[in-house]
Amino acid sequence: DAGVIQSPRHEVTEMGQEVTLRCKPISGHNSLFWYRQTMMRGLELLIYFNNNVPIDDSGMPEDRFSAKMPNASFSTLKIQPSEPRDSAVYFCASSPGQRGGNGYTFGSGTRLTVV
């Protein structure tokens, strides 16, 4: 089991550029989550999918953020245009079930710096 795989590990981009973060969940996990971690706001849930369908995107900061899950093995989080305040660590996590005691397995995160 390779775990949750995120790419890239680090991304430095200029303000105004489009950024795409990628995630491959654990095979067989049917829930996928995108979190953002900053010093000021801690860990925030941005969006989650169940069986590839977005269930709750209320945590997405604004229209500049979008997420897709075209199939069970791949998800993207896109920021367009990026701004310096988007600088954070973005985690993807997957879970085998929507409810109860199934914990999340986190990827290693993508550290995004927007200059």
Tell the smallest beta-carbon distance from residue 54 to another protein (Å): 11
Whole-number Cα distances in Å, 1 to 32, 70, 79? 16, 22, 29
Residue of 48, 60, 69, 114 interacting with another protein (CB under 8 A): 48
Identify the residue among 91, 94, 112, 114 touching another protein (CB under 8 A): 91
Instruction: Yes or no: say if 78 and 20 are a contact pair by the CB < 8 Å rule.
Output: yes
**95 lines the binding site for another protein (CB under 8 A):** yes
Please state whether beta strands 110-114 and 10-13 pair in parallel, antiparallel, or not at all (unpaired).
parallel
Residue 76 contacts residue 16 (beta carbons within 8 Å): no
Which range in 18-26, 61-69, 73-81, 107-115 contacts another protein by CB under 8 A? Answer: 107-115
DSSP assigned state of 4: -
Bridge partners of 21, per DSSP, are 77
Query: Segment contacting another protein (CB under 8 A): 14-22, 60-68, 71-79, 99-107?
Result: 99-107
Q: Which of 60, 77, 109, 114 binds another protein (CB under 8 A)?
A: 109
Contact 31, 50 (CB under 8 A): yes
> Which DSSP category does 104 fall into?
P
Positions in the binding site for another protein (CB under 8 A): 31, 33, 42-43, 45, 48, 50, 55-56, 89, 91, 93, 95, 98-101, 103-106, 108-109, 111
